[in-house]
Amino acid sequence: MRWTPGDRSNIDDARGRTGGRAVPLGIGGFVVLLLLSWATGTDFLSLFTQASPTESVGTSGDVTSTPAEERMVDFVDAVTNDAQDTWATLMGSRYRRTQVVLFRDAIQSACGAAGAATGPFYCPGDQKVYLDLGFFEELDKRFGAPGDFAQAYVITHEIGHHVQNLLGLGVGAPSRPGADSASVAIELQADCFSGVWGHAASANGRFEAGHVQLEPGDADEAIRAAGAIGDDRLQKMATGRVMPDRFTHGSSAQRVEAFKRGFDSGDPRACENAGR
């Protein structure tokens, strides 16, 4: 995967801010707490109300960081910029640009406060994506989905929720879990929208500042990531059994199929019934 740094205009650097009560919302929003809940029988999703505060270290320019982390910030900016340019082309004036809010440990959003354990999420209240960069290490080490395009899949899935919100498709609306639930349908459509971006990035040939160009084999990383965080796989990791009535994001097979549907077609209309 080839990419070049941009101007970071797609980033809201909040790595020095603190947060409070945590609310899980996105692609990884249930992962750690859900595993703990299934493994112990305790509902950590409802008990997790206090996020650990971050150390006050400032914002972009004086934040305590490493060269590797700053490179990751540039990567998130490049992927976000490329994805937003893609959706602006597909949606025209209906598309409104968002930002990825980078934080450490905890953050206050318009949807409430969130901790790093909730994973990346999209908040419809302020129309922003929230991400603790440490999630990418979890994606690699804990869930076996390494690679830069696996990380891009996570980012563009959350931007997919932004697209849903702009189109009035019900993202953020309360929904009961279950294999046939509205929650699963929304998540699978966001997976498909991520694939739509991947199709454009593999074919558009753009390689100027702040853009991304996929290379052969990159899509396999996203497919592995989608399979790694399917509800059935996470349930088996935690309890040894699969409970479809508790699905919130879809099975591994559904998530892979949804991403591939968008990637193969490059057409958002193909995502209307993703996973069905």
Domain limits, the chain:
2-271
Mean pLDDT of 187-216: 85
Percent of the chain with pLDDT over 70: 79
Structure confidence by residue, pLDDT tens digits, 138-148: 888 877 777 89
pLDDT exceeds 70 at position 235 = yes
- CA dist 108 and 23 (Å) reads 10
Q: How confident is residue 271, by pLDDT bands cut at 50, 70 and 90?
A: very high
What is the Cα–Cα distance from 114 to 45, expressed in whole angstroms?
12
Q: What is the mean pLDDT of residues 232-240?
A: 78
206: pLDDT strictly greater than 50: yes
193 contacts 262 by C-beta, under 8 angstroms: yes
Q: 64: which residues sit within 8 A by CB, 6+ positions away?
A: 55, 57, 58
Model-level pTM greater than 0.85?
Answer: no
Cα-based angle 225, 231, 237 (whole degrees, multiple of 5): 85
Residue 43 has pLDDT above 70, yes or no: no
Q: What is the mean pLDDT of residues 160-188?
A: 84
Euclidean distance between CA atoms 8 and 213, whole angstroms? 18
Q: Write the single-letter amino acid at 188.
A: L
The CATH classification number of 2-271 equals 3.40.390
- When mean pLDDT is compared across 30-39, 233-242, 253-262, the lowest value belongs to 30-39
Nearest CA among 197, 191, 139 for reference residue 161: 191
With a cut of 90, say whether residue 58 has pLDDT above it: no
Residue 55's pLDDT is 37
pLDDT in tens, 105-132: 889 899 988 888 778 999 999 999 999 9
Please report, for residues 20, 42, 67, the alpha-carbon distance to residue 160 in angstroms, rounded to integers and kept in the order given: 26, 31, 29
Q: What is the pLDDT of residue 210?
A: 74
